[in-house]
Amino acid sequence: AFNKLCVLAGAAVGFAVGHSLGGAVAGLLIGTAVSLCGTVLLLGRLGAPIAARWDRAWNRALLAQSLPLVVSWIFWNLYDNQDVVVLAYLGLPSASVGHFAAAMKLIDALRGAPVLIAGAVFPILSVGARDGADHFARVAMFLLRAALSAALPVAVAAWALAPALVRWIYGPGFEPAAGVLRIAGWAVIGIFLNHALINLLVALDLQRWTVAGAAGAAVVNLAALLILTPPFGLRGAAASLVISEGVFLAINIAVLRGHTAGLLGPLALGALQPLAASGLMGAFLVWVAAAWHPLAAGAAGLALYVVALAALGGLRFARWRPA
């Protein structure tokens, strides 16, 4: 959060001073440097040594364990960035490619949320994997339910408020991006859950299996783009993101099911309350979308979701505390 705040603040200050793209980029660099210095100082206060050290044996073991994550990261980047290239290759007009990219940027802006959720739980998760199956299952259930409960209202809001959001953020001329966002927004559920599942696999020392999910998603995304875009246009390209995230999710669940017992059944039952609350939220947003500002509608819809979730008992998992 500190890193993101510094980077965004740097970009805003740079643009305010220079009123140009160059000023914004310079601000991004300065903000990144400030966040790096702040992180080093924070680690120093926590007792981490600032001096650079080299332990060959330890570094070799670390690199060997991290190699699958590096390969997965390559596939993730290919998966995240190939859509615009493929759309241009298929000959779509530049304006259409721009509309698709504009919608995808709104999705990309949400990718940091599951990282923060999983990062906050991961230290406890790794200890749980060491302490035993029961402790790990409790922490894993907490993480997965938190990810799902956070993802559902975001996806519903993207579907219900897409035209208003696009009009408010991008202005006139970007209306086709709303159709993309209404479909691609459902991929947020997969994005949030996949981040949580990847952290579960890493905690279980199964990071090598993250390559399978990332590679599968990249291949399916490419195939879906090539198959669905020509007949369905931008909506077909948006659907390819949802499909590939679903494949990614299915692979991660299959791998996790083979190494944990009794985790996915309770998760499916626990999903009923947030699904019901998000359905109520969706109905409300459809009712007020045309008359309310998207920020006001989104805030009211989120408040309704939280109240409904609490009334249905769906917030009980948030009372969990580590043993």
Distance CA 83, CA 99 (A): 12
DSSP letter for each residue of 71-118: HHHHHHHHHHHHHHHHHHHTT--HHHHHHHHHHHHHHHTTTHHHHHHH
- pTM of the model as a whole: 0.81
What per-residue string of b and e applies to 56-86 under the rule 16 or more CB within 10 Å gives b?
Answer: eeeeeeeeeeeebbebbeebbebbbeebbeb
Q: What is the pLDDT of residue 284?
A: 96
Distance CA 100, CA 184 (A): 10
pLDDT, tens digit, for every residue of 260-276? 666 667 777 778 899 99
| For residues 220-224, average pLDDT | 93
| Averaged confidence pLDDT in the chain | 85
Percent of the chain with pLDDT over 70: 88
pLDDT, tens digit, for every residue of 191-213? 999 999 888 888 888 888 888 88
Report whether pLDDT(1) > 70: no
DSSP letter for each residue of 290-310: TTS-HHHHHHHHHHHHHHHHH
Report whether pLDDT(322) > 70: no
pLDDT, tens digit, for every residue of 137-162? 778 888 888 999 999 999 999 999 99
